[in-house]
Each structure stands twice: as structure tokens, then as C-alpha cells.
Amino acid sequence: MHRECSLAVLLALQTGCVDPTDSSYDLDHDDVSAAASYDVCEGFAGGELTGDDLLVLVNKEPQRQLRSDDAPADLVALGPSYFMPGRDGMLRGPAADGLYELIDTAAAEIGVALRVRSAYRSFREQCATYRAKVDENGPEHAARYSALPGRSQHQLGTTVDLTSAGLDWALSPSMGSRAEGEWLSDNAHRFGFALSYPRGAEPITGYAYEPWHFRYVGLAAAAELRNSGLLLDEYLFACAEAEPLRCPREQPGDRPKNRAFIGGHCAGDEDCAGIGAGAFCLDAGTAAASCTLPCSRTCPDRPGLNAPTFCVAVGGSGGLCHSRCDQGLFGQAGCRPSHHCATASRPSPATIADVCLPAQLD
Ligand SMILES: [Zn+2]
């Protein structure tokens, strides 16, 4: 930022002093360790809100802050292959499922491998992130590109920053005019995500254009938001004020999971084609429909794409592949909605394991 423009930017936020396509900043400081010799959160109190509601409005208003101890209960570890090198992290379960579909579909439709740079950040991690940004770029820059603790959508566990190898893994405004940014802007709603800080919205949102920052609000809400033409903050404000919008709130299990992995939701056999020869959609047409594969003893594991698998004995000879129960991947229940964790055996010679099964196989 030009020094002589700092005050004007701080006051007016739309002076043109900063080229919105300027990619010379490294805008990302989320790899800063929250461990410090002093209390990084000193002076940051947090607010009154909790993030349980997918449509909660969190912004720069003091009354729209999250509690300092608020953390989602349904965080899951994201598949490692969806991250840029050297990163890992978590999202709430439904947001993770939407993100997998988004990234897989982007790869299929435009041939670009989008990757996550950062996902969930706790209040404490946001303290460190914000302080680092102030130290490096000054308070004006920090105010435009980084949220104060308690005001970050990343604390909701539904928000990601996306990048790609073509962007050198950076978070840059130039993404908006590249294939990645244009595709995301046009398609993120198909997967339940909204662009939080579009170009030109800074006078309302208080944040600069961030073509990489997407928040999951649910499939139906994302569609309504897009049709409304409102900014995300305007839409969420209207929902909080009970304006005449539907504001559909997605419940756990509402979201169909159409991903080609063993145990993933499917509408028909074609959704399972990516798994391998013979894969099919078990119980197609039901809420519990899931991709599986005939097996005699073992099943394919694809790290980062599916949970560890297990060949479950069905009838006399062969079996069917199912996901093993995994709380790290699926949350406390250990399985996706519509499946439950049960002990099952392999075809002979018998071995047993805890496996995610639809009800009728229990
Ligand atoms: Zn972000």
C-alpha cells in the first residue's frame, strides 16, 4: 500500500489508492503458530454469538462477534489430498462434503486442481493470525484483509481459502481474473458455498476483494442467496431480521453426498464409476444409498478420498466393501448420516471390524 494513501483507505475504503488486482502482497499469514511466550489473545474479548447456525451473521459489528470459546462440535479432518503442500486442517462435516464435491468438479470441468490453504481457525489461532498481519503490513492492511478474533468466518468451521499451484499457492486478488476465480464465482453455489467478499463490496463488508474466501451456507441457502442478488452479509442480515426470505437451514443429513468413494452417497451406479470395475450404488434411491464394490477379501483404499475400507461378508461366499468407522473423518458417530457403526465380519477366514453400514445390513 502506498504510504500516502493509508489514511484515505482507512477512512473511505474506496479511494482507488490500492489497485484491487495488485498481487504483490502475500496476503496469507495463517501459518503463524498460536504458541507464543505472551498471551496472543490479550485484549481480544470475543462476543456473545455461537456459530451453530449455518446462517449466523459474523462481521465487524461488535454485536456480531463469536464467543472466544465457541468451536464447532462436528469438525472433521479434511482429506490430505485436498490441501496445498504442507497444510492440513478441519471443517464442519457438511462443509467438508461440499468442498470435496466442489474441488472434484472444478478438476473435471476446468482441469484446475484447487487446493485448500486454510480452513477452520480457532479464536486463539485468529489472535495470532491478526497480530502477525498487523506486525507485517500495518493496521490498515490488517483491517482490510484479516478479521479480528471473534469476527472471522474461519472460526465457524465452514470457511476455506482456496488456491492452486498456478497461483504459487498464494492468496491473490489476481485469482479473480483467472479460470479458478471465474469458475468459483460462477459455480460455488452449486456446492453450498458463497463468496463472502466480492469485488466492490468493501464499503459494505469492510473487507477487500477476496476471490479465494468461501463460506458454506448449505445448498438451498446458497441457491436463494444467488437468486436474491444480495451480498452474503446482506442476505444473512435479512435472515437474522426475519425478512421475507426462506433462509433454509440445512440439517445434518440433509445434504446428499455424490462422491465416488466407498460409502459415499450415490443416486445411481454412474456416481460410483470412478471407484473401479464392478462398483455400484447399493440401495439406490434411498437416503442410505452408498457406493460399494463386490469383494472376496480386500477392498481398495484411496488415502485422502475414502476412509479405510473393509470387505464385509454377505451371504455365503463373497462380500461388499464398506467404510470402516472413523471418528476423525466422520465425527463422533464414526459414520456418515444414514449409516451407523456396527461390527461386521469378513468372508472366511473370518476377521471382524467396526464398519459403517446402512440399517438393512445390520
Ligand atoms: Zn479466508
> What are 211-247's pLDDT values in tens digits?
999 999 998 999 999 999 999 999 999 999 876 899 9
Please tell me the distance between residue 273's alpha carbon and the centre of ligand 1 in angstroms.
34
Provide the β-strand partners of residue 253. none
The catalytic residue among 180, 210, 224, 250 is 210
Q: What is the CA radius of gyration of the chain?
A: 22
Task: Output the nine-digit C-alpha cell for 7.
Answer: 489514511
Average pLDDT over residues 247-255: 82
Longest dimension (CA), the chain: 79
Q: What is the CATH number of domain 3-240?
A: 3.30.1380.10
Q: Is the peptide bond before 349 cis (omega within 30 degrees of 0)?
A: yes
Q: Where are the domains of the chain?
A: 3-240, 269-361
Q: How far is CA 337 from the centre of its chain?
A: 18
Q: Which of 339, 278, 317 is nearest to 354 (CA)?
A: 339
Lowest-confidence pick of 3-12, 83-92, 173-182, 212-221: 3-12
Please tell me the distance between residue 347's alpha carbon and the centre of ligand 1 in angstroms.
47
| Rounded Cα distance, 199 and 210, in Å | 8
pLDDT of 39 strictly over 70: yes
Please tell me the distance between residue 154's alpha carbon and the centre of ligand 1 in angstroms.
6
Percent of the chain scoring above 70 in pLDDT: 83
| Rounded Cα distance, 48 and 151, in Å | 11
| Rounded Cα distance, 321 and 350, in Å | 15
Check if 48 is active-site: no
Please tell me the distance between residue 301's alpha carbon and the centre of ligand 1 in angstroms.
32
Q: Where are the alpha helices (DSSP H) in the chain?
A: 6-12, 93-110, 123-137, 139-145, 179-187, 202-205, 219-228, 232-240, 327-330
Q: Under the phi-then-psi rule, with left for phi > 0, alpha for psi from -120 to 50, and beta for the rest, what region is 334?
A: left
Task: Output the nine-digit C-alpha cell for 261.
Answer: 468413494
Lowest-confidence pick of 1-5, 113-117, 232-236, 341-345: 1-5
- Confidence bin at 260 (pLDDT 50/70/90): low
Task: Output the nine-digit C-alpha cell for 22.
Answer: 495488485
Q: Which range has highest mean pLDDT (5-14, 130-139, 270-279, 344-353)?
A: 130-139
- Confidence bin at 33 (pLDDT 50/70/90): low
- Confidence bin at 152 (pLDDT 50/70/90): very high
Determine contact, residues 278/338, Cβ cutoff 8 Å: no
Which tens digit of pLDDT belongs to each residue from 85-143? 999 999 998 999 899 889 878 887 788 999 999 999 999 999 999 999 999 999 899 88
Could you write out the DSSP letters of every residue in 33-50? Answer: -S--SS-TTTT----SB-
Single pTM value for the model: 0.68
Per-residue pLDDT at 37: 62
